[in-house]
Amino acid sequence: MNANRFTNRSELIGILVLAAFLVVILPLCLDVFRLNLVAKYLTYAFVALGLVICWGYGGILSLGQGVFFGLGGYCMAMFLKLEASSVENTKIQSTPGIPDFMDWNQITALPFFWKPFHSLTFTIAAVILVPGIFALIIGAAMFKRRVGGTYFAIITQAVAAILTILIVGQQGYTGGINGMTDLRTLKGWDIRPDHAKIVLYFFEVGCLFICIFIAQFIRHSKLGRILVAMRDQEDRVRFSGYSVANFKIFAFCVAAILSAIGGAMFALQVGFMSPSFVGIVPSIEMVIYTAVGGRLSILGAVYGTLLVNFAKTSLSESFPELWLFGLGGLFIAVVLAFPNGLAGIWQDHVQPRIDRLISSRKPKAESAWTDNSVADGAPAE
């Protein structure tokens, strides 16, 4: 039995490899523009991480993670937008001191729910709490009634559609279809120049690793094993004295909060937020990142996100009309041929070879069963 409940050796190596890749190799090899693209991709890695816990371990497929990504992103964007809309920046408006889109929509005073977003502390709390509480409500409403599987996936998709319509429709309060653009400073610090992008990149990578460690902690706790058990035999878990609904709600909320952190990072990195990151299509794309990376692998999710997004950028630069077919094809290929994604390929074909190399030098001591069975956080490059 593994005494270290936090992480085992091969996983630690995987995390170190990923850290070296993100902290050293990428910043050295890429120019600022490309590095900023990576930063944008990594915001989705937070979502993919959440999906590993919720979908991979818990078996709860959510096709509405864009909702939480969007809520987190909009909370952050509201703060940045207010800062960018100071009286002196907006003196040409008929009502100075409110965001430009409000002025265009004949709104003359800041709506009440915007006011607290003047505070950064409130904003950071809102980035976590708003999506967390929203997920809690959806989760409680669905899981307590034993709604699951496909029905749950469809409902999350409906929520994504509803939120998009709401944001687009309430133009005066949300910026409508254009979203919130022209975000400039964070507490007076300009987020637009190159050096700010680099600082934000490292800040984001730091947050990502904190989230990876949280995910690892959950996976290695008994709660992680209960999620896996629930996926296999929900009734057995229920009749072993657990409230299955509460565990599902927890997994769903964790996934929502991770997505929201990604969304907030997105607003900071990219400098705007719009409903096109909230709806059904982006939500499904996020599921594809997770599937490609391997839905059972925490680190695989990060690699999957990077890989699919790199492919997306390079393919849509050269063949814009082909990309969507490529994405669809990729999803079908993963589902049919590699159900455990890149991490599965790594684990079945690469890891055994490495193990053999190591074990030819010293006899194998670790209990392989424990590691393989729950499926793992092996890196997949």
Partner 1 sequence: MLIGHQPKPFLLAVEGLTVSFDGFKAVNDLSFYVEENEIRVIIGPNGAGKTTVLDLICGKTRATSGKIEFRGKELTKLKENQIVKAGVGRKFQTPSIYDDLTVFENLEISFPRGRTVFGALTFTRDATVRDRVHEVAEMIFLKDRLDMSAALLSHGQKQWLEIGMLLIQDPDLLMLDEPVAGMSVSERAKTAELLNRIIKDRSVLVIEHDMKFVEDIAHKVTVLHQGQILSEGTMEKVKNDPKVIEVYLGH
| Interface residue list for partner 1 (CB under 8 A) | 1, 5, 218, 221-223, 225-226, 228-229, 231-233, 235-243, 246-247, 250, 367, 369-370, 372-375
b/e code 119-152 from CB counts within 10 Å (16+ = b): eeeebeebbbebbbebbbebbbebbeeeebeeeb
The dihedral formed by the CA atoms of 216, 73, 61 and 239, expressed in degrees to the nearest 10? 60
Supply the minimum distance, in Å, between the C-beta of residue 42 and partner 1.
26
Nearer of residues 180 and 227 to partner 1, judged by Cβ: 227
Q: Which positions ≥6 away from 342 have C-beta within 8 Å?
A: 292, 293, 294, 297, 300, 303, 304, 307, 380, 381
Nearer of residues 80 and 255 to partner 1, judged by Cβ: 255
Supply the minimum distance, in Å, between the C-beta of residue 136 and partner 1.
12
Supply the minimum distance, in Å, between the C-beta of residue 368 and partner 1.
8
Angle, in degrees to the nearest 10, between helices 149-169 and 280-293: 140
Nearer of residues 94 and 233 to partner 1, judged by Cβ: 233
Residue located via tokens 């890989």: 307
Nearer of residues 130 and 228 to partner 1, judged by Cβ: 228
For the chain, the C-alpha Rg in angstroms (whole number) is 22
Q: Are 215 and 49 in contact (CB under 8 A)?
A: yes
Supply the minimum distance, in Å, between the C-beta of residue 173 and partner 1.
35
Nearer of residues 31 and 235 to partner 1, judged by Cβ: 235
Backbone angles phi, psi at 86, to 5 degrees: -65, 160
Angle, in degrees to the nearest 10, between helices 298-318 and 280-293: 120
Q: Are 296 and 375 in contact (CB under 8 A)?
A: yes
Retrieve residue 238's tokens. Answer: 């229920």
Nearer of residues 252 and 266 to partner 1, judged by Cβ: 252
Nearer of residues 170 and 243 to partner 1, judged by Cβ: 243
340/342 Cα distance (integer angstroms): 7
Nearer of residues 136 and 311 to partner 1, judged by Cβ: 136
Closest alpha carbon to 212 in 62, 6, 3, 24: 6
Supply the minimum distance, in Å, between the C-beta of residue 231 and partner 1.
8
Supply the minimum distance, in Å, between the C-beta of residue 127 and partner 1.
22
Supply the minimum distance, in Å, between the C-beta of residue 331 and partner 1.
24
Q: Which positions ≥6 away from 100 have C-beta within 8 Å?
A: 85, 90, 93, 182
Nearer of residues 288 and 298 to partner 1, judged by Cβ: 298
Residue located via tokens 């390079």: 314
Residue located via tokens 């429709």: 169
Nearer of residues 94 and 243 to partner 1, judged by Cβ: 243
Residue located via tokens 């190399």: 357
Supply the minimum distance, in Å, between the C-beta of residue 72 and partner 1.
22
Supply the minimum distance, in Å, between the C-beta of residue 235 and partner 1.
7
- Return the half-sphere exposure (C-beta side, CA atoms, 13 A cut-off) of residue 329: 7
268/51 Cα distance (integer angstroms): 22
Supply the minimum distance, in Å, between the C-beta of residue 4 and partner 1.
11
